């Protein structure tokens, strides 16, 4: 799992050149199995695991790691994505964190910008509960996060996001769907309790300004990624952005996978059933441009970090991306 070593040093770094790293890896015979085009037959049967088993694997993962021992705020994201801080006063930015885990990404954002309201989803109820505990336990004094942090369960790769979150006429849709309307008990039709959320808030969010995908897209099987990104497009307001950080090709964690963990080209499955894909810039670019986004930033972030205890130098490769939904003309 993602290990935030040298957290401050992770900011959009270029400690080494990615092309040189690639050449080195590809000329090393012990890594050859990573770039053979198809995984060995014994493991390839796992490549088409069902959405249910993927969700189950993450759920079990979060149950096993419920102590929150690995929780670390990703403060460096505020430097990587300064737009999260630069909102005009009272702009009431809306942000959707997809695959929020225990809240490592959303906590520093909530702390740093009191004008942001965060909607956070995950395919594990266990981790959503834990995130709520951590976020409410981290609020100090008057800076309560309760009204700015809303969680909901969702597997965005198969079911997409709920209608109440979407940009566009979700109000019309709700009014037409009587079964849905009967679930609400609002006084003025605006402030209602959404049946899928535990907290009260405006039932129709009407789209978000930012979607953060922080080490979540890599957990989705490659064949479900195009639909997943289209879902992010749908939920954004025009001019809104996806902020992406994820595993890059030939990251140290990829090179450590044993041959039997390969389930597809650049795709791996851990012993616990959770998956990880390792991206090139080309794959990321194709996925986002095909969904209708404009590319604002896309690069490898290459960081050398030293494990002092083992005296080993580790080469981390991440992809950093910023993609925009075109504004209405």
Ligand X SMILES: C[S@@+](CC[C@H](N)C(=O)[O-])C[C@H]1O[C@@H](n2cnc3c(N)ncnc32)[C@H](O)[C@@H]1O
Q: Where on the chain is the footprint of ligand X (CB under 6 A)? A: 2, 58, 74, 99-101, 104-105, 121-124, 127, 154-157, 214-216, 219-220
Least distance to ligand X from the beta carbon of 114, Å? 21
Q: Which is nearer to ligand X, 10 or 174 (CB)?
A: 10
Q: Which is nearer to ligand X, 25 or 211 (CB)?
A: 211
- Phi, psi of 78, rounded to the nearest 5 degrees: -70, -25
Contacts (Cβ under 8 Å, ≥6 apart) of 261: 43, 268, 269, 270, 271
Q: Which is nearer to ligand X, 2 or 209 (CB)?
A: 2
Tokens of 7: 């957290």
Q: Which is nearer to ligand X, 47 or 127 (CB)?
A: 127
> ∠ CA(154), CA(133), CA(146), 5° rounding?
80
Alpha helix locations (H) across 116-223?
A: 125-138, 170-176, 178-181
Least distance to ligand X from the beta carbon of 54, Å? 6
Q: Which is nearer to ligand X, 113 or 174 (CB)?
A: 113
Residue with nearest beta carbon to ligand X: 99
Tokens of 130: 């834990």
Q: Which is nearer to ligand X, 221 or 240 (CB)?
A: 221
d(CA 138, CA 143): 9
- Could you tell me which of 2, 136, 9, 11 has the C-alpha nearest to residue 70? 2
Least distance to ligand X from the beta carbon of 62, Å? 6
- Could you tell me which of 263, 256, 294, 300 has the C-alpha nearest to residue 279? 300
Ramachandran region, residue 292 (left: φ > 0; alpha: ψ -120 to 50; beta: rest): left
Contacts (Cβ under 8 Å, ≥6 apart) of 324: 239, 240, 241, 242, 293, 294, 296
Least distance to ligand X from the beta carbon of 207, Å? 19
Least distance to ligand X from the beta carbon of 293, Å? 19
Least distance to ligand X from the beta carbon of 175, Å? 29
């Amino acid at each position: 799992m993602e290990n935030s070593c040298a957290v401050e040093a992770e900011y959009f770094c270029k400690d080494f050149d990615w092309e040189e790293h690639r050449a080195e890896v590809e000329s090393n015979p012990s890594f050859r199995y990573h770039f053979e085009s198809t995984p060995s037959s014994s493991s390839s049967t796992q490549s088409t695991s069902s959405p249910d088993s993927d969700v189950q694997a993450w759920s079990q993962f979060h149950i096993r790691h419920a102590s929150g021992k690995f929780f670390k705020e990703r403060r460096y994201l505020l430097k990587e994505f300064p737009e999260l801080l630069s909102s005009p006063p009272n702009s009431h930015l809306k942000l959707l964190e997809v695959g929020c885990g225990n809240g490592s990404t959303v906590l520093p954002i909530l702390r740093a910008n009191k004008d942001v309201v965060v909607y956070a989803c995950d395919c594990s109820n266990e981790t959503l509960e834990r995130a709520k505990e951590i976020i409410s336990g981290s609020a100090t004094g008057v800076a309560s996060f309760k009204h700015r942090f809303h969680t909901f369960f969702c597997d965005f790769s198969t079911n997409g996001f709920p209608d109440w979150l979407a940009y566009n006429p979700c109000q019309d849709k709700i009014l037409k769907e009587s079964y849905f309307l009967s679930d609400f008990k609002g006084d003025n039709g605006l402030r209602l309790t959404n049946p899928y959320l535990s907290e009260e808030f405006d039932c129709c969010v009407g789209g978000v300004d930012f979607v953060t995908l922080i080490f979540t897209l890599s957990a989705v099987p490659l064949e479900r990624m195009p639909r997943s990104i289209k879902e992010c497009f749908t939920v954004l307001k025009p001019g809104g952005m996806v902020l992406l950080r994820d595993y890059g090709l030939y990251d140290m964690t990829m090179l450590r996978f044993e041959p039997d963990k390969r389930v597809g080209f650049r795709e791996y499955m851990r012993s616990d059933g959770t998956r990880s894909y390792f991206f090139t810039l080309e794959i990321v670019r194709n996925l986002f441009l095909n969904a209708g986004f404009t590319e604002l930033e896309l690069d490898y972030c290459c960081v050398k970090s030293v494990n002092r205890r083992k005296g080993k130098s580790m080469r981390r490769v991440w992809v950093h991306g910023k993609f925009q939904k075109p504004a209405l003309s």
